[in-house]
Amino acid sequence: MLENKVMLVEDDPAVRMITRMALKREGFSVDEFSDGSYALNRLKELKRDTREDYYNAILSDIDMPILDGISLSRQCYDLDLTKAPIILMTGNRHEEVLPKNIVYTLQKPFSLNILSETLRNYSLK
């Protein structure tokens, strides 16, 4: 596993860029995906290569087209694709039951300090 490696899944290019820059400034290495389906395919590739613990954490927006963050999380859990904790980000209220692999939900907008602290608290060590 790479040290402080985060999978960032966010469909908004501006939010993705700001989040990536903030994470890199805090010492995280970031792989970014614009859609949950791309992220899911990457996790499946890593699982096939027996590198399922490649990421220390997955940071995903909830509301995305094609494959949203909750569906991505459910499939990761159901298919046992990764042990990395999943932290969701949202600007909306969600009432559905969340999969067990979601360890925290960040309410947008959040400070970059909260983002960094959350990742450090919940990432695989």
Residue 76: partners with Cβ closer than 8 Å, 6 or more residues away: 40, 43, 58, 82, 86, 99, 101
Cβ atoms within 10 Å, residue 16? 18
Q: What is the mean pLDDT of the chain?
A: 90
**Into how many domains does the chain fold?**
1
Instruction: For residue 63, report the phi and psi dihedrals to the nearest 5 degrees.
Output: -90, 100
Confidence at 98, pLDDT banded by 50, 70, 90: confident
- Model confidence band, residue 2 (pLDDT cutoffs 50, 70, 90): very low
Task: Quick: pLDDT tens for 25-81.
Answer: 989 999 999 999 999 999 999 999 887 678 999 999 999 999 999 999 999 999 999
Residue 33: give its domain's CATH number.
3.40.50.2300
Please report the pLDDT score of residue 92 as a whole number.
82
Q: With bands split at pLDDT 50, 70 and 90, how would you rate the model's confidence at 101?
A: confident
Three-state secondary-structure class, residue 75 = helix
Q: How many residues does the chain have?
A: 125
Domain of 88, in residue numbers: 5-122
More confident residue, 94 or 28: 28
What pLDDT is attached to residue 77?
Answer: 93
